[in-house]
Amino acid sequence: MIGPISDRLDLLSGGEIETTESEGSEHPIDDFAELLARNVEEVNQMERSAQDLSEQFALGEIDNIHEVTVATEKARLALQLTTEIQNRVVEAHDDIMRMQI
């Protein structure tokens, strides 16, 4: 059985996912957009970090191939997860648009 995406996000982030209380929030959509933007930026930072480590390894500045491999794999998994989340959001949007009122 395939587990929920939130479990995978916990693993990637190294802890629990931050949630915002939207009960008192006047703009819950802004909060969601902010959450998405922050998470995309984290994935982007992982990609940049992995690229920097790869360049340092290629130049001989670092010797630890394991560190490079782990950083690259984390970035790849984070990007794959982000893509899967995007696909599910688009699929949910399409389902909503097909609903008849």
Domain count, the chain: 1
Supply the range of the domain harboring residue 51.
28-98
Residue 23 belongs to a domain? no
Residue 35 pLDDT? 86
Residue 18 belongs to a domain? no
Measured CA to CA, the distance from residue 31 to residue 96 in angstroms comes to 21
Residue 46 belongs to a domain? yes
Residue 2 belongs to a domain? no
Distances (CA, A) of 75 to 17, 21, 39: 18, 29, 12
pLDDT tens, residue by residue, 11-45? 555 555 555 554 555 656 668 788 888 999 999 99
Residue 49 belongs to a domain? yes
pLDDT tens, residue by residue, 49-68? 999 999 999 999 999 999 99
Measured CA to CA, the distance from residue 59 to residue 2 in angstroms comes to 41
Reported as a pLDDT band with limits 50, 70 and 90, residue 10 is low
